[in-house]
Amino acid sequence: TSKIYNNKCISNGIRISMGKNYHCADNIVIESFHSLLKKSNNS
């Protein structure tokens, strides 16, 4: 992730959703939850 992107996010109050090591698997729990929500809304 670029410094410009990080700064834009911070200045707009957006929290970056990756861990310090930029490891996307850090969000696996919430991504699974969102997947379940999408499935339940489509039923």
Domain residues for 32? 3-42
Q: How much is the pLDDT for 21?
A: 63
Count how many domains the chain has: 1
Q: How much is the pLDDT for 33?
A: 86
Q: How much is the pLDDT for 39?
A: 86
Block mean pLDDT (10 aa), the chain, length 43: 84 78 69 86 73
Phi, psi of 11 (to 5 degrees): -70, -20
Q: How much is the pLDDT for 22?
A: 58
- What is the model's pTM? 0.38
* Cα–Cα distance, 34 to 16 (Å, whole number): 17
Q: How much is the pLDDT for 12?
A: 93
